[in-house]
Chain A
Amino acid sequence: MSAYLVRRLGQAALLLWLVSMIGFAILHLAPGGPLAQFALSSQMTQEDLDRIAQQLGLDRPLPVQYFDWLVRMLTGDWGTSYRDNQPVLEVIGGHLGATLELMLTATLLAILFGGWIGILGAIRRYSLFDYLATAGAMVALSIPTFWFGLVAIYIFSVHLDWLPAGNRQTAGDGSLPDLLRHLVLPAIVLALVEMAIWSRYMRSSLLDVVNQDYIRTARAKGLPEWRVLTGHALRNAALPMITLAGLQMPTLLGGALVTETVFTWPGMGRLFLDSISYRDYPVVMGILMLSAMMVLIGNLLADMLYAAADPRIRLG
């Protein structure tokens, strides 16, 4: 397995490097380049701009700039926010927790409910439940997350007044019940798409497994059907789900951005949008790079977990 791990880490490193190059390219695509915010001030003359450019090292050849930038990123210097002059990493760090909270809760909900629906659908293939679940999953994947959020707010907040319409906590409060009340709606909204994905994949994976020879062997031993399911089928069907979990990072992050917007959730996604509207490029770039890294790490972790869980890979 160690050979596998080494190979996988090498792949991840290569991807990380490519990601950094793409990020750098985007950074320099900004109109006016990184000088944009300075150019806005009408008092700046061209000489001033040139001087700043020189100070920032923008007159050096691109590869040099890139290398410099890369080294700075690796050492934790992600630049300073234009808005409040704080180090970018700190600014992002302050918002990351909220996003992770949302993503984790949504994933848990999605696995629990989506997985369950998928399993039932596989066991009762072609039944009415299965048909509805499959169609429902398809619709759930087609609903714009933010619209679902708006509708949810309208129903549960405006109309029924059961749950708050936004934010992570009520000002002044911060108790666990308050936090949970605020978490419910955004987590469910974010979880919707995930649930659809999980239910489809769980169903498909379980169906694959249930047709295998070793399931027939298990039945031939005289095992009751529920034990065939829990002891044999689910264990095997769950393996590909580990990989799936890793692959969900991009979807989760994108969904989180949109959900945070609708629910004014103080997370990284909200920060991203705010920074864009403020033209706070360092933060924008920082979040962009961080999200890509999270995707990479998510995939890597999932692959490593899979390797550990599957005895065929773990023990060679």
Chain B
Amino acid sequence: MSSTATVPEATAPSRSNASRAFRRFRRHRMAVLGAVTITLLFLASFLGPYLLPFNDTYIDIMHRFEGPFSGAHILGTDELGRDMLARLMMGGRISLLVGLTAMAISMAIGILVGAIAGYYGGVVGAALMRLVDAVLCFPTIFLLLALAALIEPGLLSIIVLIAATSWMDVARIVEGQIRALRERDFAVAAEALGASDRYIVFRELVPNAMAPVVVAATLTVAKAILLESYVSFLGYGIQPPVPSWGNMLNNAQIYLTSAPWLAILPGLAITLAVTSFNFIGDGLRDALDPRLDGR
């Protein structure tokens, strides 16, 4: 018979999708906490060193291996007497930078591959997707290390390598989205109007597929930061003296028994950053998902 009653919103309905999504995001406490944490981490890493009395490269053998909260150095010093807090901040710069840049590159590759595969479908699409599947068969760390061992390690090369091993998931997501959206009315209408393929894909389809892509981007940063830490820990990533949270941990291994904070602190920093990005990603997923499972 007649339709079920529609339930009006408890608050005045907002016109814009963005503001509604933002409100939903705000309700996700952990995500907000994550966002705040990341902001603080960024500020600390990029502005912090200017505020600290200690330089991260200043070697002070007289004060080596000082524990946290014990002396002038808030978080202690390492085996060369360098201030831990300063090193963490500088390391943060590198790790966060690597994470974000690698994400950007892998997003670009992934969106491109996924969009082409999803839009053209057929043999091209299938071939591209099978290629993605094949690359995904290699465990990321193995692939990354094998490639990293072949090249001269450096900041740029690490970023490129991490990007090269992280684009596949995005490509899959984008391919699925584009494939579904391609048949929708607005895309067909654009085609009927004579729009070029490139226009349709990048101006019509991709913008509509952005929601899961944004979520994927956040989660990719998290993964990239983790990957950099793994690779640097194993010695094939960022090379000292450039500090990164990962290679600080490599250093700290030998001193685990005598100066455990050398290992604990960078690991905490990594965990904090990655957790925050993951929570943000979760919050974004809930905020941007039109279905709102309520789970």
- Chain A directly contacts chain B within the complex, with at least one CB pair under 8 Å: yes
Alpha-carbon distance A126/B270, docked complex (angstroms): 28
Is B43 interfacial (CB-CB < 8 Å)? no
Q: Which of A30, A31, A204, A291 contacts B138 (CB 8 A)?
A: A291
Which residue of A is nearest B267, CB measured?
A147
Which residue of B is nearest A29, CB measured?
B150
Which residue of B is nearest A250, CB measured?
B139
The answer to whether A144 touches B267, judged by C-beta atoms less than 8 angstroms apart, is yes
Alpha-carbon distance A277/B153, docked complex (angstroms): 13
* Chain B residues in 8 Å Cβ range of A292: 137-139
* Chain B residues in 8 Å Cβ range of A139: 271, 275
- Give the interface size class of chain B: 35 or more
Is A258 interfacial (CB-CB < 8 Å)? yes
Given A158-B256, A273-B145, A276-B149, A147 contacting B270 (CB threshold 8 A):
yes
* Chain A residues in 8 Å Cβ range of B149: 276, 279, 284
Is A218 interfacial (CB-CB < 8 Å)? no
* Chain B residues in 8 Å Cβ range of A261: 234
Q: Is the interface of B mostly helix, strand, loop or mixed?
A: helix
Is A94 interfacial (CB-CB < 8 Å)? no
* Chain A residues in 8 Å Cβ range of B25: none
Which residue of A is nearest B151, CB measured?
A31
The answer to whether A142 touches B222, judged by C-beta atoms less than 8 angstroms apart, is yes
Proximity bits, A285-302, B CB within 8 Å = 1, else 0: 101100111011000000
Which residue of A is nearest B127, CB measured?
A18
A–B pairs, 22, beta carbons within 8 Å: A14-B130, A18-B131, A19-B134, A31-B151, A135-B30, A141-B278, A142-B222, A142-B226, A144-B249, A144-B267, A146-B233, A147-B263, A154-B257, A154-B263, A254-B139, A258-B230, A276-B146, A285-B146, A288-B143, A291-B142, A292-B139, A295-B136
* Chain B residues in 8 Å Cβ range of A295: 136-139
The answer to whether A31 touches B282, judged by C-beta atoms less than 8 angstroms apart, is no
B52 to chain A minimum Cβ distance, whole angstroms, is 24
* Chain B residues in 8 Å Cβ range of A9: none
Mark out the residues of chain B between 235 and 274 whose CB falls within 8 Å of any chain A CB in the assembled complex. 235-236, 249, 252-253, 256-257, 260, 263-264, 266-267, 270-271, 274
* Chain B residues in 8 Å Cβ range of A207: 295
Q: How many residues of chain A get a CB closer than 8 Å to chain B's CBs?
A: 50
Mark out the residues of chain B between 130 and 168 whose CB falls within 8 Å of any chain A CB in the assembled complex. 130-131, 133-143, 145-147, 149-151
Mark out the residues of chain A between 137 and 183 whose CB falls within 8 Å of any chain B CB in the assembled complex. 138-139, 141-148, 150-151, 153-154, 158
Q: Which of B235, B249, B270, B278 contacts A138 (CB 8 A)?
A: B278
Residues of chain B touching chain A, judged by Cβ–Cβ distance below 8 Å, are 30, 130-131, 133-143, 145-147, 149-151, 222, 226, 229-230, 233-236, 249, 252-253, 256-257, 260, 263-264, 266-267, 270-271, 274-275, 278-279, 282, 295
Alpha-carbon distance A64/B230, docked complex (angstroms): 37
Proximity bits, A248-289, B CB within 8 Å = 1, else 0: 011101100110010000000000110011010000110110
A-B contact count (CB 8 A): 136
The answer to whether B278 touches A144, judged by C-beta atoms less than 8 angstroms apart, is no
Which residue of B is nearest A262, CB measured?
B253
The answer to whether B150 touches A151, judged by C-beta atoms less than 8 angstroms apart, is no
The answer to whether A253 touches B137, judged by C-beta atoms less than 8 angstroms apart, is no
Is A26 interfacial (CB-CB < 8 Å)? yes
The answer to whether B234 touches A273, judged by C-beta atoms less than 8 angstroms apart, is yes
* Chain A residues in 8 Å Cβ range of B295: 204, 207
The answer to whether B275 touches A142, judged by C-beta atoms less than 8 angstroms apart, is yes
Is A22 interfacial (CB-CB < 8 Å)? yes
Alpha-carbon distance A177/B171, docked complex (angstroms): 47
Residues of chain A touching chain B, judged by Cβ–Cβ distance below 8 Å, are 14-15, 18-19, 21-22, 26, 29-31, 135, 138-139, 141-148, 150-151, 153-154, 158, 204, 207, 249-251, 253-254, 257-258, 261, 272-273, 276-277, 279, 284-285, 287-288, 291-293, 295-296
* Chain A residues in 8 Å Cβ range of B278: 138, 141-142
Alpha-carbon distance A139/B274, docked complex (angstroms): 8
Give the top 6 A-B pairs by smallest Cβ distance, nearest first.
A147-B267, A18-B134, A142-B274, A254-B141, A142-B275, A250-B139
Which residue of A is nearest B293, CB measured?
A207
Which residue of A is nearest B279, CB measured?
A138
* Chain B residues in 8 Å Cβ range of A293: 137
Q: Which of A29, A142, A257 contacts B271 (CB 8 A)?
A: A142
The answer to whether A257 touches B142, judged by C-beta atoms less than 8 angstroms apart, is yes
Given A147-B267, A150-B256, A288-B143, A19 contacting B137 (CB threshold 8 A):
yes
The answer to whether A26 touches B131, judged by C-beta atoms less than 8 angstroms apart, is no
A315 to chain B minimum Cβ distance, whole angstroms, is 28
Which residue of A is nearest B270, CB measured?
A144
The answer to whether A146 touches B230, judged by C-beta atoms less than 8 angstroms apart, is yes
* Chain B residues in 8 Å Cβ range of A138: 30, 275, 278-279, 282
Which residue of B is nearest A14, CB measured?
B130
Alpha-carbon distance A142/B295, docked complex (angstroms): 21
* Chain B residues in 8 Å Cβ range of A276: 145-146, 149, 236
